[in-house]
Structure 1
Amino acid sequence: MKTQEKKRILITGAAGFLGSHLCDRFIAESYHVIGMDNLITGDLRHIAHLFKLPNFEFYQHDVSKFVHIQGRLDYILHFASPASPIDYLRIPIQTLKVGSLGTHNLLGLAKSKGARILVASTSEVYGDPLISPQSEEYWGNVNPVGPRGVYDEAKRFQEAMTMAYHNIHGLETRIVRIFNTYGPRMRLNDGRALPTFIGQALRGEDLTVFGDGTQTRSFCYVSDQVEGIYRLLLSDYVLPVNIGNPDEMTVEEVAKEIIELTGRHSAIVYRDLPIDDPKQRRPDIQKANKLLQWTPQVSRKEGLLRTIAYFESLPASALKQKDFTYYNQE
């Protein structure tokens, strides 16, 4: 009896936070995983444990340039993109290129291979929302020429290009709108609220909150996010789907909870709110509930304890690394 060949999947942004966890998941599901990353924000240490496996291969490559994969390809997950404010404010042109040129290249690859492609969009397509919670039917409130526009508009273009390939070429496409996700392998100095707060608390520093701290966020633990993405890829639904945790809290509440869970005695200091910072972020996940039978399983406290334990396990030198251009409300 002939052994069934493993499904082959290309994961771009494979050395990043979410990309590396997706590599782990698809390896666990017995796929042959092809990882790709230009390492502009990714870290090979996230996937080093996979290099010895026969069903994993890695290519250092910028998907904004032509992408070639030898052999059959069943699926593509396009997760290559800077995703934190510090990154996309530092490299705005690269952010725009990976969302536009990179998406175009990968859609073309999917078309040539007859592969299904899932693209990673973001809650940032909603901008500074005028409604809450944000459902997939909400068109957003985005400033295209503001400092965050390079990320917001790259993702909005990515969605439009993906739907065009689906409508014109009949390509099998999926779009996930990712809300704030956290967990092990995040960078302490990437500018987002949770890792920034955890790093500051573990170093015994004051926690920096921008604005008055009443702006809200909703945090989804990484294993829940990966499960939602996995189910969406294998579903039959082609329009965008929110994957996030609707458990909403203020940024000030986040800071206080981090201080409590780390057992530190840090104070909270307040700074001016950056331009176009969203005042509210909460996903409507009714579609994910109905179409994917998906709901978050990991409580915020449990997820935070796991994340704090991960950062505490890092070498002292890693904990000391910090970036003073904090923009921690993403």
Structure 2
Amino acid sequence: MPFAGAPEAVDVEWLVDVRARRPEAVAAAAARRRTRGLFEERDRLLIVAADHPARGALGVGARPYAMADRADLLGRLRLALSRPGVDGVLASADILDDLLLLGALDDRLAVGSMNRGGLAGASFELDDRFTGHRPQDLARLGFDAGKLLLRIDPDDPGSLDTLHAAARTVDEMAALGLPVFVEPFLCHRDHDGRLHNDLSAEAVITSLTVASGLGGTSAYTWLKVPVTDHPEDMARALAATTLPTVLLGGDPGPGPDAQEVTYEKWRRALRLPTVRGLVVGRALLYPEDGDVAGAVDTAARLLRETVGRTLHA
């Protein structure tokens, strides 16, 4: 679906030419990027997520390849990053490299996605290897944080390898003084082998307590948390940790009311005392009405409205 309010089109031929002729241009762009502090502008963060393609997860709602057009995705990201109230972007190396070359990351947080080996739908999906940014890559490029996904299925031995790798990555990030956003889920496979995340309050509580205890220190650990359907479940879940948390967006699905339902869930959850922002991808980049700027501005407004209006669990 075309999106409204797009900036100038991304010149793919120029990007490819730079990559082919001057690969060192990526490092040069990273070196001259204007950086900022985590809470330099606000005490709540709005980060746009675009790390889905590196896992082979390209679908949005009923569109299985919505994120497959890279020029279109980059255009949506540039528009989102240009909106007031947006603090940064979470993405895999290829997308962050493109955004660096396009000059779209000045004064914005750059969060690198670290483990992308658990490809969507693969038999090895839970053996989620760290095939993306390494901690030393994030430090070398002057990026601001990293993110890792931690899916745990008690019936899948691959979960233990991912759990161990995640703990060591938390240690490495802390040693470098870099925040790491850990996104934990308890999950299971159905009779057809498809993986499902358990969003019950009990499952979210368990996943958060496991993630909070990873590594030799939690000083630089943040949690990236799904929003449950019931507000009381969300309050119970987030009462299980004192780590700062951000809410993930997920795919709101089709239908005229899906987006509004999603916004209302965010509004309620943002009032909980541990929540420090939103990290949202498809709901902002691919809204049902195509209005990327409108979706981003709505999320920014929700953050402004909930500052200072804390609900204690």
Establish whether TM, by shorter chain, passes 0.5: no
Structure-1-length-normalised TM-score:
0.34
**TM-score with structure 2 setting the length:** 0.36
